[in-house]
Structure formats: C-alpha cells, structure tokens
Structure 1
Amino acid sequence: MTDRSDGRAPGSDTGGAKPTVVVLDYGSGNVHSAIKALELAGADVELTADSGRVAAADGLFVPGVGAFSAVMSQLQSVRGAEKIDRRLAGGRPVLGICVGMQILFDRGVERDHETEGLGEWPGTVEPLKADVLPHMGWNTVQAPDDSLLFDGVRDERFYFVHSYAAQDWALEGYGARKSPKVTWADHGGPFVAAVENGPLWATQFHPEKSGRPGIRLLTNWLATL
C-alpha cells in the first residue's frame, strides 16, 4: 500500500472501482462525518438499513453514539443484529465504531442497568475506572505489530469520547482459528481500543474525528474488502 499525505486510498482518484460501504441507518448520530471520512478514504458510501443493500455491500460500517441500551433498542428497530450476524456468517466485513463496537460484546452495564449486547465477543462493557470522565480527546494506542488496521498509523493519536469500555479480553484462537488482534489504550487503566477478528473489526475511538490518521485507518480497512 502506498502512503498518501492526504490519507485517501491509493487509486481513489484515478477512476478505478471503489469498494462499496453501507453505513447502517438505525437512527444513530454522527453518520454524516462518518460518510465523509469513508468517502475521503476511497469508498462509495450509502446510508441505509435495506437488507439487500446491507448484504451486498463490500463493507458494513456500524456507527454508535450515546447509551449502550439506546443503541441496542435502535438496532432492534431495524433488525440490525440479524443483518450484522448474516454478514459475519458469510465472512462479509463489518466495522463497528464507538458504541457500535461496544454492542458487539455480551452485555453493557450503565448506572447499574445491564443490557444484553450482540454477543459476538465475550465480555462486559463497564464504566472506566478513571477519575475524569468522559475520556474525551486524543490518546495513543498499543497495537499489535501485525495489525493491518493500524498499518502506518501505529504511533499516531486517535480521538476518543466515551465513559464505558471493555476492559478485559477473553476470546482466543484455537485450532486453525487465529487469535484476534487486540489493540489497547489507557485512561485510568487499560481498555480495548480496537479489535481485528476475522471479518469483524471495531474501534472504540472515532476514526472519522481523528484527522489524517483516522482516514488512513479507514483506508486500511477498505483495502481488505
């Protein structure tokens, strides 16, 4: 992959075919900045919850802001869990962002209220143990050396806005199944900042708010589609 100073995908302005990405439309905020960032990274982007388009797209982008329970309720209103699960069953790439990452775990606990998540990964999303919340602003991450998502941006800072996160990781590889690549960050203690697990990738931070490093990260994801 050739690096670009503007972070856009190589060939994105040469007339070549662009990967298609559906941003799942279930009522989440912040989708317009996500759409713009994906377009800058080199994707042909559509905002929809249409089952056929979700299934047919090269990649599915799952945004998420606000409360874990509210996002799960909104997803249920468009049968989002079913659409995500069908893509993953067929090995079709999915990228979750912020609460769109959190809902991939078994459950979320907010103000002593527990909400069932999608259960793609074992674990619980809980309040960070930091003195200052929310964790808002730029932070570094510790990515595995073989991470594809962080290729070229492993030493960069990314933009976080959250008070909750998964702070443990339990899923390991077995047999021919490779162990997920887990990236960590720290705010009052370590938490999961990103995961690369077969076709299912996710970040706790917002790449669409992370400037050039965020666009490069999205470019890296698009390159795998």
Structure 2
Amino acid sequence: MKIVIINYGAGNIQSIRFAIQRLGYEAILSNDPKDIQAADKVIFPGVGEASSAMKKLRASGLDNLIPNLKQPVLGICLGMQLMCNSSEEGSTEGLGIFDVDVVRFSNRVKVPQIGWNEISNLKSDLFKGIGEKEYIYLVHSYYAPICNDTIAVSEYELNYSAALGRANFYGTQFHPEKSSDGGERILQNFLEM
C-alpha cells in the first residue's frame, strides 16, 4: 500500500509517520502531485496558521489537487480545517470539501484548548472498535461547528465537530498520532478503508 503524507511545510509530519510505522506501514512525505495522485491513502496534516498554510497550498497547486482526489484522504487538525469552506483565522478561504465555516472559540474559555477530551456521537467506519467517550488529544483555538458532515463530536464551551466526513474525505480536529491506543486504532481504520 502506498501512503503519502502531504509535505507542504505546515505539518506535524514526523509524528504521523512514526505512528504509521508503529502500525507496520511505511509512508512517504511528498508534495509531488504524481506521488499524491498515485497513493492508495493520503494524509493531509497541518499545524500552524490557516492563511499562511493555504498560501503554501496555492503556491504548489495542491489547493486544486486535494479536493479532486478519489482515494481516502485524512485531514488532521489544521488539515481538517483547511478542508472546510473557510476559517476565521486570517479570513481564509478553504478547499470547500466540507460544507462548514471554521470559527474561533469565544473569549469565555482559555484558548487554545490543549489536552485530552472525549469524543462521542461516532458515525463512521473511521471509529470502528472505538467506544463512545474515547479520549483523544487536541490543540486548537478554532473549530468546525456541528454540521451535516459531522461524524464525531467533542465539547469545549459548546459541542463542536471533532471529526468530519464526506465521500472519500475524512478530517479529525484531534491528533490521532498523539491520542494513544484509540488514536492508533483510528489511523489503522483509515489505512484499512
């Protein structure tokens, strides 16, 4: 199986690569459209700020490539947010895969939300073998509200989308590669799709 982690200069790519190795697979890091299109599975990571990450995607033409991929694609953290219509962070236009706009938590709570939190309302094979109230690891100041593409929910000030899914595209606001056994199971489920 060919697994490609998109390397566009805004990712936590090594920790994802190591998590995949622990599951017995190898992943390559690439921003080459040929590699990405030929992959069986694509992981779209993201750490940092939305508008600068989108500039990097546009500069490499990946903003046009990613929404047209036909194989399973997993966006992680900022990667998931960039797959949405837009983000309040830097007034950023997203890739429009998920039909929701990313917004900032209010000033009533401490941001970023950092640490372990529960997920519930699990609605996808991505969560096969994962129980309701599984703990996952998050670091974020922005979130996707509950929408038609929501496949898991978490709560911080309010209920929000912990994961999104539509067709062959999946996104997790949390970091499966840092979420212990449950996170590894979620990665395994994605790789087995």
Give aligned pairs, total.
191
**CA-CA distance at 1:205 after TM superposition:** 0.3
SS at match of 1:119: coil
Structure 2 letter corresponding to 1:222: L
**CA-CA distance at 1:181 after TM superposition:** 5.5
Aligned to 2:129: 152
Where do residues 87-166 of structure 1 align in structure 2 (5 Å cutoff)?
87=69, 91-110=70-89, 113-129=90-106, 130-144=108-122, 146-154=123-131, 155-166=133-144
- Stretches of structure 1 that go unaligned for 5 or more consecutive residues are 1-18, 172-179
Distance 2:66 2:185 in 1: 24
Structure 2 letter corresponding to 1:201: Y
Decide which of 6, 15, 27 is 1:45's aligned counterpart: 27
Distance 1:26 1:72 in 2: 10
Q: 1:207 touches 1:215 (CA, 8 Å); kept in 2?
A: yes
Q: Whose RCO is larger (CA < 8 A, sep 6+)?
A: 1
Flag the structure with larger Rg: 1
Aligned to 1:201: 170
Q: More deviation in 181-190 or 56-65?
A: 181-190
CA RMSD, aligned part only?
A: 1.5
| TM-superposition CA deviations, 1:152-198 (whole Å, max 9, x none) | 223420000000011131x4xxxxxxxx4521100010111002222
* Residues 1:190 and 2:138 are matched in the alignment: no
TM-score normalized by the length of structure 1: 0.80
**CA-CA distance at 1:147 after TM superposition:** 2.3
Q: Which has the higher helix share?
A: 2
Q: 1:162 to 1:41 in 2, by over 3 A?
A: same
Q: 1:26 touches 1:77 (CA, 8 Å); kept in 2?
A: no
Aligned to 1:221: 190
TM-score normalized by the length of structure 2: 0.93
**CA-CA distance at 1:148 after TM superposition:** 0.9
- Stretches of structure 2 that go unaligned for 5 or more consecutive residues are none
Q: Percent identity?
A: 35
Distance 2:72 2:17 in 1: 17
